[in-house]
A and B are shown apart, each in its own frame.
Chain A
Amino acid sequence: MTSRHGMSFFFYPRTMILDRTIAPPFRVIDRISLPPAETLTLDNGLPLHVINIGDQPVVRLECMFEAGNWSEAKPGAAHFAIKMLTEGTAARSSAEISEAFDRVGAFTEMKNTFDQAGVVVYCLARFLPEVLPIVHELLTEATFPRKEWDDLRNITLQNHRVNWEKNAYRATALFREKLYGLEHPYGRGRTEESISAMAREDALTHYQSNIQSSRYRIILSGKVGRDEIATVNAFLGKDAARADAEEPTAASFPILPGEKTTIVERSESIQSSIRLGKRLFTRHHPDYYQMLVVSEILGGYFGSRLMKNIREEKGLTYGISSNAYAFREDGYFVVSTDVKKEFTQQTLDEIRKEIAILQTIPVPKEELRTVKNFLAGEFAGSLNTAFDVADRQKILITDGLPADFYDRYIRQIHATTAEDIMQIAQKHLVLDDMTEVVVGGK
């Protein structure tokens, strides 16, 4: 048999015997730099971070405020405040705002997180001049109309009821509550009571104090040229008062952990959702990178120990994972899975057993190498688009991290030894300190 393509025949004559048992040679990724953001200052002093990458004629505009749960005076106010921005302004009704964005095919995301809140718009770059005046209106002239307020609260309540029926959702909410307590922004989830108790004025107050005339950051990513930057400056660089606005004072909250084990019996459930973990630290902690390697070995990728043990060997679950989450003020480690109810205890035991093995037996060389290469490749692959890069840059800004934080990432991962893994697991994954939540039953 001959190939139709002479070139390839030249490189691989058919007489050469192909040994399929031998893996092709490969290179390990040992260096990746995060593409930089260009930081500009608008006429009114607000910072604009630009990430210009990609061929598709699209952009993402993100306005980030110190207006997340951390900044709210009343639990839940941050969520409602940001969601109400698109529900009415001095000039436009809720329907007109939707219509104005939809007309140019733009989609919006009113985003509330533990630490920050933001207005995000995705659109074709050519429609920025249509989109920006509406964004400016949302930020400065939102009116929180009463009817829309009632609708939003009702919809939030109904959605919450649907979500609360999902074991996984409820388990995560309870797990955070047990880690941080109800006084802490990371611990108090949404409840029927908190939604019902929310008054329009609470959300409005949050808007007025944290968004309407506050300082914020703009991140513009995608195919961004001089025209796009000028357009942003023309619309968002004009209200002068903001740049001088005071940064909100840093609040602090007591952490009041709950009981170590929680079980919610739900007779109608076939499966249990399990959360097992403990508090960790922020990205500033010296053990942060090494902890990522530990979590990765345990349950961070498809070939992880937990996946092999619980899914591939025992078939108890469709998926199991461990994560080391970091936020601005704190972080936590958690193993999450949904398993057949009758295997709940067995799964919990196996998770603890796997953690104990990490603490006592050095990770074999081959496995450690795989995990490191995987983490490095995953990181390289996670910087594929302008939006990916913008998300990383945002973390640097939000968490106040050094510019080379991600450039050090791969070096630090590769530097982690089997001895480090054991030490980190012993130090940060003390089994007696684990908080365990089961929703479903045993």
Chain B
Amino acid sequence: MIHYEQFTLDNGLKVLVHEDFSTPMAAVNIVYNVGSRDEDEQRTGFAHLFEHLMFGGSKHIPVYDEPVQSVGGENNAFTSPDITNYYLTLPAENVETAFWLESDRMLSLSFDPNVLEVQRKVVIEEFKQRYLNQPYGDLWLKLRPLAYTTHPYRWATIGKDIEHIERATLDDVKDFFFKYYRPNNAVLVVAGAVTVAQVRQLADKWFAPIPAGEPYVRNVPQEPTQTTPRKLETSAAVPLNSLIKTYHIPARYGTDFHEADLISDILGRGKSSRLYQALLKNIPLFNSITASVIPSLDPGLLIIKGNLNPGVTMEAADEAIENLLQDFVENGTTAEELEKVKNQAEASLAFSQVELLNRAMNLAYAANAGNAEWVNEDEEKIRVIQPDDIQRVARQVLRPENCSTLYYHALVNEQ
């Protein structure tokens, strides 16, 4: 349970405060309601490039990082298909520094051409380090366009083509900023050893003078229901054959999301899960196998991923998974199995709220999605799920025609 208070400034900025005086620290988290799903297909990777540019100096403050560090704070950011999230933790006494820095870069960036040139290079290196120079690093680059035909989730946050990053101009940067980085398209959460009154005062002082922007109306093409199974084969110099299957599931705050989440846990969370026990322990087809969901604000994916033992064919491994899923769909779960995954979900939730920063992020994520209170509703939603619900949703989700399968073959490695 995360307690909080919220208010909205006249310019539309939503502010949430979570008081916690058990720590001397404060966490400040800002979500901008923009991710790679908002990108133009010809300019992918822009939301993420932009995240880098946000550290290149703002209108009145030449550098972002140093002032944070000199008051004993740490900061970072991430971009997802749905949001761009900026966060700092710092000694609570120095929390005003965070208001000063964050409000100035919300007011306006410096738009320094050198910053664009350097960050463009850094992002291209990040692309290589994370996606090209790692075994299986390009997995999501292959998988997204297979699982999604229409929705912008079909490209990865880093972008679908590095050329898009190479082509970005300063005008693109400015347009993007004034379209998305406005107070009415953001949520600010301040958590830790701060009072609501103090946050109101600081928010009024630093953020209230920032003008609102045109309201952003999201118009993202939604993914049509998948009606036939899809399959792709690819290969690279990786050590083991890898098999990946994805299934469309409801959105993070949509009906039946938690059922889908628990289904993935039943199938492939930990060593007592069905896939692990059946296909790694009993019949050693796989060397590793897991199932999980990729939560997202538009409908997301359930993903089953396994590395095959040498000598096992993709077809045999695939068939074994399909058979297991069919059995699960037909026979459903048991009360004990459901109790197990509910306990696991409860524990995950409790542990995810141990860190102050996580509490701030979770609040911001829910508030940005539509309602801060959703952050406290997951526990109850999970608690009431019955075996019948699991089977009903399993029937919908684990249909063969809802599935995209990737065979990732290991080329014989020259080393």
Contact = CB atoms under 8 A, between A and B. Distances in A.
The answer to whether A and B come from one shared complex is yes
Interface string A6-30: 0111011000001011011111110
Interface string A375-395: 011101100111100000000
Interface stretch (A94-102, A207-215, A328-336, A350-358): A94-102
Interface in A146-197: 151, 154-155, 158-159, 161-162, 165-167
Contacts of B70: 26, 369-370, 373-374
**What's the interface size class on B, roughly?**
35 or more
B72 A373 contact: yes
A98 B280 CA distance: 14
A204 to B, nearest CB: 21
B60 A378 contact: no
A338 B240 contact: no
B204 interface: yes
B135 A58 contact: no
Interface in A114-163: 122-124, 127, 151, 154-155, 158-159, 161-162
Given A5-B204, A271-B128, A315-B118, A26 B93 contact: yes
Nearest to A377: B72
Given A12-B204, A94-B271, A26 B94 contact: yes
A384 B104 contact: no
A87 to B, nearest CB: 10
Given A95-B281, A105-B343, A373 B205 contact: no
Given A12-B201, A103-B339, A311-B122, A28 B413 contact: no
Interface stretch (A42-50, A61-69, A262-270, A284-292): A262-270
Given A7-B201, A95-B272, A338 B133 contact: yes
Looking at A95, A302, A340, which has the most chain B CB atoms within 10 Å of its CB?
A302
A107 B128 contact: no
Nearest to B357: A384
Q: Which of B60, B75, B122 has the most CB of A within 10 A?
A: B122
B66 interface: yes
B66 A27 contact: no
A381 B93 CA distance: 13
A25 B99 CA distance: 12
B122 A318 contact: yes
A106 B350 CA distance: 12
A317 B125 contact: yes
Nearest to B62: A21
B237 to A, nearest CB: 6
Interface stretch (B22-30, B138-146, B223-231): B22-30
B89 A381 contact: yes
A303 interface: yes
B69 A5 contact: no
Contacts of A8: 200-201, 203-205
A270 B287 contact: no
A1 B69 CA distance: 34
Given A55-B22, A270-B132, A380-B72, A20 B354 contact: no
B383 interface: no
Contacts of B340: 99, 102-103, 105
A20 B104 contact: yes
B322 interface: no
B277 A95 contact: yes
How big is chain A's contact interface, by range? Answer: 35 or more
B353 interface: yes
A362 interface: no
B321 interface: no
B214 to A, nearest CB: 18
B355 to A, nearest CB: 6
Contacts of A106: 347
Given A161-B240, A311-B122, A373-B72, A21 B271 contact: no
Contacts of B19: none
Contacts of A55: 22
B170 interface: no
A7 B200 contact: yes
A104 B343 contact: yes
A166 B72 contact: no
A5 B7 contact: yes
B219 interface: no
B409 to A, nearest CB: 15
B203 to A, nearest CB: 8
A424 interface: no
Contacts of A5: 7, 200, 204
Contacts of B204: 3, 5, 8-9, 11-12
B175 to A, nearest CB: 24
Given A101-B272, A386-B354, 13 more contacts: A12-B201, A18-B209, A56-B354, A58-B354, A95-B281, A105-B346, A106-B347, A161-B239, A162-B135, A268-B414, A270-B128, A370-B70, A373-B69
28 contacts: A1-B208, A3-B208, A7-B201, A11-B204, A18-B206, A18-B209, A20-B61, A21-B61, A23-B67, A26-B71, A26-B94, A29-B91, A102-B272, A102-B273, A105-B346, A106-B347, A124-B350, A158-B239, A158-B240, A165-B238, A268-B415, A312-B122, A315-B120, A315-B125, A317-B122, A318-B126, A318-B130, A380-B91
Interface of B: 7, 9-10, 22-25, 59-61, 63, 65-67, 69-75, 89-91, 93-94, 96-97, 99-100, 103-104, 107, 117-122, 125-126, 128-130, 132-135, 197, 200-201, 203-206, 208-209, 237-240, 269-273, 277, 280-281, 284, 287-288, 307, 309, 336, 339-340, 342-348, 350-351, 353-357, 413-415
